[in-house]
Structure 1
């Protein structure tokens, strides 16, 4: 069975990190204009895309100038954060 590796785009909605992890399990999530804590960890933000394939989200960034983004993985390594500005 082939896995769907396409990016899923979502309507704008601000979610907390806990909600993002719950709604998008085991996915790479692209978060626009994230609110960060003092340790630069995501508190909340607008989920603009998600995919099981991290490279798909990095490809999406090329057309997203002028905004800051974070990419989170919601699986077992959900504490890892990459912040792109």
Structure 2
């Protein structure tokens, strides 16, 4: 099965590196309102590790909106 999206967890010290064409998306924001034409990366904020809304946002960005750039999880992310 092909990967639907690539989600990268980063620490706070790296999340703002290379801020050129990067959007910080709150977990309660609607991704369909974004203009994604020149966006290279979207940081999806996870306020608590039990909050899965960022995963739904990532799915919408890839599948419905066709976003091809990087998606990164920031905030309270647990690494496996």
TM-score normalised over the length of structure 2: 0.30
Greater relative CO, 1 or 2 (CA 8 Å, sep 6+): 2
TM-score normalised over the length of structure 1: 0.29
